[in-house]
């Protein structure tokens, strides 16, 4: 059955054709009411939106089949990411499709401010010819301060360098090497405020960046500074900015984004030398086409191959990586499920070690798959998208380690779970594309995974295997595979038995009553 995608906001016909050419059914239903969306969303595996459709908690709760939400654009304010994550849905955006367009808009705003173009246009078309009124400033040799030097900020820096401006940037995540590469001087915020002739914001809105240009920060800027915001409303204290414009300390401001949108009214409207545009940063034909095509490709890749691109709540997996990772994802899930079914008390931590060939791969998806396996016995509705978030919420520490060489196997994955009672480790490998378990509690064995398995920990004494076989036979449980491991003769031992029928509680109790048996569990995979 082909996956189905609901296109709830307008995408270009070329994007719709990408879905259909890739073998994904695409239904275009633009302008649905909330009630109409709730009524149909349960029939779809994917939801493609721009900014109009709201994928809130109610929509996500009704979307029982939904695997992926794709946002054609950068901002995902209209998607409840925590709810989607909890439901195991990948949320994707297209962060690069409109980067050039947004950067160009910021540059255009800078020119418009420097030469007072909007006011000069109104005056001239009114027949006033106020040539002496509109004295501008050159951008040449001026200092541009970027708050945020990611994808869009770096493009702005490139254009500003072409204008022979001096570019400085405040970005805690900007490495010194990257700063040199994009041609900026990395500075602290206080230094930027003191030096910049123009400040342009290119950072997401978070608790740390909200009002990053506060009243105090604005007061610390150079007199006559020009401020441009084409990023997100809420980065600048709008009330303080108005006061700065009226008082003359702020030379001008140009905003494409506002705290409340659509901005039918705003405290900045009408302020001296203030320019406003209605969130046009991504509004070019090229950008709209780019993001539509990208979201169609990304969603199709995920639904058809499992490849994950530009996900906001899941590790990325390229189309080339997906087939290489698939057997290891199966191993991680199975080994995690084994470990999770052995946990009876509070889970405190999970460590996943990768050895050999697997250590050279993208292990983030494998860690997520292993976590999902560990947590599934306790939380049935969980997958590799939601598992990392659930672990964080429950205070479960997760760690990874890699080792290029594996002493025995070409590849090895070891999951160690820490509970209130101590630590237990389980190791597995992939052989000929199939996952196998090769170590339990430090005891070596070699067993494939079956849908139903019986785990028995006992002392290695004569007669145990025969007695176990008799009990299984009497209960009508057929043995498919039988694998053993032990420390030494007479010491700790394990039996891992693949069975065709699920052992019931009564049979488990009879096995537990056998001499020398320490632990018995019925496992399902």
Secondary structure (H, E, C), 196-253: CCEEEECCCCCCCCCCCECHHHHHCCCCCEEEEECCCCCCECHHHHHHHHHHCCEEEE
Beta carbons of 56 and 80 less than 8 angstroms apart: yes
Query: From the candidates 50, 279, 376, 414, which is the catalytic residue?
Result: 279
Q: Compute the distance between CA of residue 56 and CA of residue 36 in angstroms, rounded to an integer.
A: 14
Q: Compute the distance between CA of residue 12 and CA of residue 15 in angstroms, rounded to an integer.
A: 5
CA atoms within 13 A on the CB side of 163: 21
Name residue, tokens 């809105």.
205
Exposure b/e, 230-245, CB count within 10 A at least 16 = b: bbbbbbbbbebbbbbb
**516 given a catalytic annotation:** no
Q: Compute the distance between CA of residue 218 and CA of residue 169 in angstroms, rounded to an integer.
A: 17
Query: From the candidates 17, 130, 261, 420, which is the catalytic residue?
Result: 261
**202 given a catalytic annotation:** no
* Residue among 430, 387, 434 at smallest CA distance from 409: 430
Q: Compute the distance between CA of residue 125 and CA of residue 138 in angstroms, rounded to an integer.
A: 24
* Residue among 390, 398, 343, 389 at smallest CA distance from 367: 398
Q: Compute the distance between CA of residue 193 and CA of residue 170 in angstroms, rounded to an integer.
A: 10
Q: What does pTM read for this prediction? A: 0.61
Q: Which H/E stretch holds residue 293?
A: helix 285-305
User: What is the predicted pLDDT for the residue at 521?
Assistant: 92
Q: Per the structure block, which two tokens stand in for 151?
A: 């994808």
Query: From the candidates 50, 71, 105, 232, which is the catalytic residue?
Result: 232
Helix ranges (DSSP H) in 475-516: 505-512
User: What is the predicted pLDDT for the residue at 306?
Assistant: 84
Q: Which CATH architecture has domain 99-276?
A: 3-Layer(aba) Sandwich (3.40)
4-94+287-305 against 99-276: fold identical: yes
Strand 479-486 relative to strand 492-499: parallel, antiparallel, unpaired?
Answer: antiparallel
Per-domain boundaries in the chain: 4-94+287-305, 99-276, 315-447, 450-525
User: What is the predicted pLDDT for the residue at 178?
Assistant: 87
Report in angstroms the alpha-carbon separations of 278 from 256, 258, 263, 266, 275. Answer: 6, 9, 8, 12, 10
- The pLDDT tens digits for 243-261 are 999 999 999 999 999 999 9
Strands of 347-356's sheet in order across: 397-403, 347-356, 411-419, 422-431, 434-440, 443-448
Q: What number of helices (H) and strands (E) belong to the chain?
A: 17, 22
User: What is the predicted pLDDT for the residue at 381?
Assistant: 59
Report in angstroms the alpha-carbon separations of 280 from 102, 261, 264, 310, 461. Answer: 8, 12, 15, 23, 77
Q: C-alpha dihedral over 130, 131, 132, 138, to 10 degrees?
A: 130
**261 given a catalytic annotation:** yes
User: What is the predicted pLDDT for the residue at 320?
Assistant: 78
For the domain bounded by 315-447, which CATH number is listed? 3.30.1330.90
Ranges of the chain with pLDDT below 70: 345, 378-381, 393-394
Superfamily classification of domain 450-525: ACT domain (3.30.70.260)
User: What is the predicted pLDDT for the residue at 393?
Assistant: 64
User: What is the predicted pLDDT for the residue at 198?
Assistant: 98
Determine whether domain 4-94+287-305 maps to CATH 3.40.50.720.
yes
Total Cβ atoms within 10 A of residue 383: 20
- The pLDDT tens digits for 99-142 are 899 999 999 999 999 999 999 999 999 999 999 999 999 999 99
């Amino acid at each position: 059955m082909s996956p189905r995608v609901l296109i709830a906001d307008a995408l270009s016909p070329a994007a719709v054709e990408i879905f259909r050419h890739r073998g994904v059914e695409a239904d275009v239903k633009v302008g649905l009411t909330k009630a109409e969306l709730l009524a149909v969303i349960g029939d779809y595996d994917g939801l493609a939106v721009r900014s109009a459709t709201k994928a809130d908690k109610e929509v996500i709760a009704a979307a029982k089949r939904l695997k992926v939400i794709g946002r054609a654009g950068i901002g995902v304010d209209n998607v409840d990411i925590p709810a989607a994550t909890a439901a195991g849905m990948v949320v994707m955006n297209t962060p690069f499709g409109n980067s050039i367009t947004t950067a160009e808009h910021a540059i255009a705003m800078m020119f418009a401010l420097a030469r007072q173009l909007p006011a000069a246009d109104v005056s001239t078309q009114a027949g006033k010819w106020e040539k002496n009124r509109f004295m501008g400033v050159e951008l040449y040799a001026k200092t541009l301060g970027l708050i945020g030097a990611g994808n869009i900020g770096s493009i702005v820096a490139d254009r500003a360098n072409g204008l022979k401006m001096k570019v400085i940037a405040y970005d805690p995540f900007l490495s010194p090497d990257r700063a040199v590469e994009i041609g900026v001087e990395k500075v602290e915020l206080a230094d930027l405020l003191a030096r910049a002739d123009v400040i342009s914001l290119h950072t997401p809105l978070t608790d740390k960046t909200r009002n990053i240009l506060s009243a105090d920060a604005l007061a610390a800027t150079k007199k006559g500074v020009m401020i441009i915001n084409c990023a997100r409303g809420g980065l600048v204290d709008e009330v303080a900015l108005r006061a700065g414009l009226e008082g003359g300390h702020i030379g001008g401001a140009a905003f494409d984004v506002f705290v409340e949108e659509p901005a039918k009214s705003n405290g900045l409207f009408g302020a001296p030398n203030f320019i406003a545009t209605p969130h046009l940063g991504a509004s070019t034909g090229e950008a709209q086409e780019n993001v539509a095509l990208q979201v169609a490709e990304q969603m199709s890749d995920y639904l058809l191959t499992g490849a994950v691109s530009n996900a906001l709540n899941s590790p990325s997996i390229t189309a080339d990586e997906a087939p290489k990772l698939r057997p290891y994802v199966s191993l991680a899930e199975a080994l995690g499920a084994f470990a999770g079914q052995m946990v009876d008390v509070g889970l405190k931590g999970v460590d996943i070690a990768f050895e050999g060939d697997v250590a050279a791969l993208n292990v983030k998806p494998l860690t997520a798959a292993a976590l999902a396996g560990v947590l599934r016995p306790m939380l049935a509705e969980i997958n590799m998208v939601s598992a990392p978030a659930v672990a964080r919420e429950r205070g479960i520490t997760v760690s990874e380690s890699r080792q290029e060489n594996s002493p025995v196997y070409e590849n090895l994955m070891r999951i160690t779970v820490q509970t209130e009672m101590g630590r237990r480790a389980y190791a597995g490998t992939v052989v000929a594309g199939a996952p196998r378990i090769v170590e339990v509690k430090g005891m070596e064995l070699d067993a494939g995974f079956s849908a139903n398995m019986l785990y028995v920990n006992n002392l290695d004494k004569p007669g145990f295997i025969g007695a176990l076989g008799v009990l299984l036979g009497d209960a009508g449980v057929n043995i498919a595979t039988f694998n053993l491991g032990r420390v030494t003769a007479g010491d700790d031992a394990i039996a891992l038995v693949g069975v065709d029928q699920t052992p019931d509680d009564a049979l488990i109790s009879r096995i537990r009553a056998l001499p020398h048996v320490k632990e018995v569990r019925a496992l399902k995979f």
